[in-house]
Amino acid sequence: MSTPKSLLRTTNVHKNYKLIAEVGAGTYGRVYKAKHLKHDKFVALKKIEMTNKHITDGFPITTIREIKILAMVSHPNIIRLLEVVVSKPSILNDYKSSYFLVFEYMEHDFAGLVYRLKLSLPQIKGIMHQILSGLKYLHDTRIIHRDLKSANLLFNNKGEVKIADFGLGRLMSNQPEILYSHHVVTLNYRAPELLLGAKDYSTSIDMWSMGCIFAELLINEILFKGDKEPRLLEQIYKICGSPDTSVWANCDKLRYWQQLKPNDFIPRRLNTYISEHCKVIEDEVNMSLTLDLIGQMLCYDPKKRICATQALQHQWFSTVPLPAQQSDLPKMADEYHISIPTHMKKIEDIEKSKLQKIEDDKLNLSNYTKLFIKGT
Ligand SMILES: Nc1ncnc2c1ncn2[C@@H]1O[C@H](COP(=O)(O)OP(=O)(O)O)[C@@H](O)[C@H]1O
Ligand SMILES: [Mg+2]
């Protein structure tokens, strides 16, 4: 696999980009819509806030991961990182550098969109096919995303769906015994093995998240909600039933099993729950195929859980109605992103203090320097 250095082309950002609107406030920085003046194209500028937390050599570890992974990948369903720019410390920015990742611009994310749109079954199939194609590519490249959720799935008016936000992504080690951190993946989409303390997880954690995303597209709400691990597991047990060693080998060996295992027997009612809440499927054949596919994604045993390649070959995709082409996916005049719920914030609507922040960003951008990232 190549190193990221070829990606790190830098240009004079101040002359090249005009900030237009704030479209997202992420975990580690703000995301702006901007225009590349020369190319007359929109881009997203993700500003990396420099804090004292999560820093390696003055640079957030999540950003280093994100750049490193994005520099390795190239797929139509993975967001494209165009360049990385960094401002030079100067009197204008209080001698603090600002870093920006420049991405192709996407009009929406699914968290901003999913509750507003009534998607048809072929559209859901088309969207799922695109996400799974991106995910198959990642997994074939031995990359685990670890934070798949609707807010990290971007959508544009050309009907393209792209996986974004690789801040938690990581390359799988060749050594099977390597232990990873289990504090990954936004809680609602987190696989049960992570909630129960597994450290030797693999790409199958992304497939559990896919099952949650699939459900969200079908029922227009988050399937499992919980702000703490025990509460979320309770929700999972309620819908997916109480796991035991008969469905999930060695689940009783997981670190937090004794504290967090189900107290009583609960039958699995995923099928009933989805069919009662899903309004888009009218025929029995498609309903039973849908339930089969989602059931294989939300399978307790990570070893038995369906992988992206198998999911793409599932009969659900080859049964009529077939997946919608990109040209048949919805196009909207407004732009929707998770943290901007009603409509995208235009620069002139943003309160003065934020405007000042954007002005500061502009100043920072005017004084850039070349960024070199060494392998991490
Ligand atoms: N390329 C992009 N085009 C348009 N909006 C984007 C783009 N990248 C991110 N966003 C918006 O910004 C939000 C936060 O970005 P993200 O990369 O997920 O950062 P974080 O790691 O902080 O969650 C996303 O949920 C999305 O709404
Ligand atoms: Mg995100």
Average pLDDT of adjacent 10-residue blocks, the chain of 376 residues: 48 72 74 89 86 57 85 96 76 69 93 84 98 98 94 95 91 62 75 93 95 96 91 97 97 96 97 96 96 98 98 98 96 75 43 48 46 32
pLDDT at 270: 98
Give the span between the Cα atoms of 303 and 156, in whole angstroms.
34
pTM for the model = 0.87
> Ligand 1: does its nearest atom lie under 6 Å from the Cβ of 151?
yes
Give the span between the Cα atoms of 260 and 264, in whole angstroms.
12
Strands in the chain per DSSP E: 17-25, 30-36, 41-48, 55-56, 59-60, 81-87, 99-104, 108-109, 143-144, 153-155, 161-163, 170-171, 345-346, 368-369
Which fold is adopted by the domain 5-105?
Phosphorylase Kinase; domain 1 (3.30.200)
Find the 21 Cα to ligand 1 centroid distance in Å: 13
118: tokens are 């009534």
pLDDT at 179: 59
pLDDT at 145: 94
Is 147 annotated in the active site?
Answer: yes
DSSP 186-243: -GGG--HHHHTT-SS--THHHHHHHHHHHHHHHHSS-SS--SSHHHHHHHHHHHH---
Domain with CATH 1.10.510.10 in the chain: 109-328
pLDDT at 155: 95
> Ligand 1: does its nearest atom lie under 6 Å from the Cβ of 107?
no
DSSP lists the bridge partners of residue 48 as: 99
pLDDT at 143: 95
Task: Give, using CA atoms, the residue closest to atom 15 of ligand 1.
Answer: 26
240: tokens are 């997916």
Which residue in 106, 80, 298, 83 sits closest to 205, CA to CA?
298
Q: In sequence order, which residues have a C-beta less than 8 Å from that of residue 351 and are 6 or more positions away? A: none
Q: In sequence order, which residues have a C-beta less than 8 Å from that of residue 306 and are 6 or more positions away? A: 207, 293, 296, 297, 299, 314
> Ligand 1: does its nearest atom lie under 6 Å from the Cβ of 165?
yes
> What atom in ligand 1 is closest to the CA of residue 62?
21
In the numeric block, the tokens 């450290």 are attached to 199
C-alpha 192, offset from chain centre: 18
Which fold is adopted by the domain 109-328?
Transferase(Phosphotransferase); domain 1 (1.10.510)
Give the span between the Cα atoms of 266 and 261, in whole angstroms.
12
Contact 17, 34 (CB under 8 A): yes
Domain with CATH 3.30.200.20 in the chain: 5-105
Pairing of strands 161-163, 153-155: antiparallel
Contact 183, 227 (CB under 8 A): no
In the numeric block, the tokens 């793409």 are attached to 312
pLDDT at 375: 31
Q: Is the peptide bond before 243 cis (omega within 30 degrees of 0)?
A: no
